[in-house]
Amino acid sequence: MLIAIGLTLYSQTTRQQLEEKRKQLESEIAYTNKLIKQTQDSKKNNLYELSLLNTKINKRNELVATLKGEMYEIEDEIETTDKSIIYLDRELAQLKQEYVKLAYFAFKHKNAYDKLIYLFSAEDLNQAYQRLRYLDQLSEFIRNEAEEIQRLMKEKEQLLSNLNRQKEQKKELLENENLQLSKLEVEQIGKDKLKTELSKKERELKKSLQAKEQESENLNKKIKEIIADVTKPKPTPGGKNTYELTPEETLLSESFAANKGKLPWPIERGVISETFGVHQHPVLKNVKTKNNGIDIATSENSEARCVFGGEVVSITSITATNKAVIVKHGEYFTVYTNLDEVFVKKGDKISTKELIGRVHTNMEGKTELHFQVWKGKLLQNPSQWIINQ
């Protein structure tokens, strides 16, 4: 019985975590829908909308998987509850059987005359005393047995109530899963339709891709130049040119590294529209693109914020509407680009979550922050550094 209770508590904890994840995914899907609506209002079919649709479909698939996980956990709870009820039924049957026997014996000796006969039929005084004690203990034991039967019956009633609730929750989860699968099918059709429409604009897409790649190359070149300049060897008293972190910077580096996977998002609310690394182009065949960071889609007028305390070492313009801010955290650097307004200046010491600038929104309704993490001259995957929402 104790094992069953332990398993139930563990299952409930797991299901609670899954429920929290489901709510988070539902919130992210709702927010992505809002962003898609903003792009649709521009009345232009674009890659950004397709990217958001992909994000939403991925989140929806994750949501379906989470619902399945919840269903598995609740089925496990139902099975555990069923076993507990079977165990209680056996225990109640045994208690009732014992109770009937004891009650019958007590009934036979319920009046004073029968008790006296029972006592005086003893072989000696000691046995008579033992019989008197037995009758007193028997009365108390019968009362306790009756109370235990009542307690177990209430426990069974509670378990049956839990069982009915669990079955109702399972039914709701199943209905939700079917609803999500229906929405997934509609979204997939919408994605395929948009993809077909975009494929008719191959020349325009290739031109846009070339411009984006050139912009990315320029940004990457500038970041490397800035990092090289900040970390260039300096003359030391011994006559050698070396670059060493100050004790303060070393502590900052260690603290930054210790927070891997726990850093706040560089934007208060958003969804990752493109991940780190090499990707197949969503429309153009046999064309791959590379992302040196992550792109975070957000709503208009959103503001970028610093993910960790550090020093602003550079503010540079990539285009007229794309400014980049680089913050140094010891040997680590974080980069925030696609800003149309910057709130900080070079040399500023800024803290975690301090606002850096406003994210640019283009004519197509696209508001997207590009975020990078570097360790010295080595690129890092930012998704591994920020907290998993």
pLDDT tens-place string over residues 104-126: 665 655 554 455 455 546 566 66
* Residue 285 and residue 188 in one domain: no
List helix spans (H) across the chain.
Answer: 2-41, 47-108, 112-120, 125-199, 202-230, 247-258
- For residue 156, pLDDT beyond 80: no
Q: What pairing do the DSSP bridges indicate for beta strands 288-291 and 277-280?
A: antiparallel
* Residue 182 and residue 216 in one domain: no
Question: Which of 199, 220, 254 is at the close of a domain?
Answer: 199
Question: Which of 199, 228, 263 is at the close of a domain?
Answer: 199
Q: What is the mean pLDDT of the chain?
A: 82
- For residue 341, pLDDT beyond 90: yes
- Identify whether the C-beta of residue 187 lies closer than 8 Å to the C-beta of residue 60: yes
Q: For residue 177, how far is the Cα from the chain centroid?
A: 18
Higher pLDDT residue, 253 or 17? 253
* Residue 305 and residue 344 in one domain: yes
Specify the pLDDT at position 120.
47
* Residue 162 and residue 233 in one domain: no
Higher pLDDT residue, 336 or 216? 336
**What CATH number has the domain bearing residue 358?**
2.70.70.10
Query: What is the rounded CA–CA span in Å between residue 127 and residue 111?
Result: 20
Q: For residue 363, how far is the Cα from the chain centroid?
A: 33
* Residue 195 and residue 231 in one domain: no
Q: How many domains does the chain have?
A: 2
Query: What is the rounded CA–CA span in Å between residue 358 and residue 337?
Result: 10
Local confidence band at 5 (pLDDT 50, 70, 90 cut-offs) = very low
Local confidence band at 328 (pLDDT 50, 70, 90 cut-offs) = very high
* Residue 8 and residue 140 in one domain: yes
Range of the domain at 33: 2-199
Specify the pLDDT at position 9.
46
* Residue 27 and residue 97 in one domain: yes
Higher pLDDT residue, 9 or 221? 221
Whether this model's pTM surpasses 0.85: no
**What CATH number has the domain bearing residue 86?**
1.10.287
What is the arithmetic mean of pLDDT over 306-335? Answer: 93
Type of residue numbered 355: L
* Residue 256 and residue 113 in one domain: no
Please count the residues of the chain.
389
Question: Which of 150, 175, 199 is at the close of a domain?
Answer: 199
What share of the chain has pLDDT > 90, as a percent? 32
* Residue 263 and residue 150 in one domain: no
What is the arithmetic mean of pLDDT over 31-47? Answer: 76
Tokens in use for 132? 């008197």
Q: What is the DSSP track for 82-139?
A: HHHHHHHHHHHHHHHHHHHHHHHHHHHT-SHHHHHHHHHTSSSHHHHHHHHHHHHHHH
Specify the pLDDT at position 129.
55
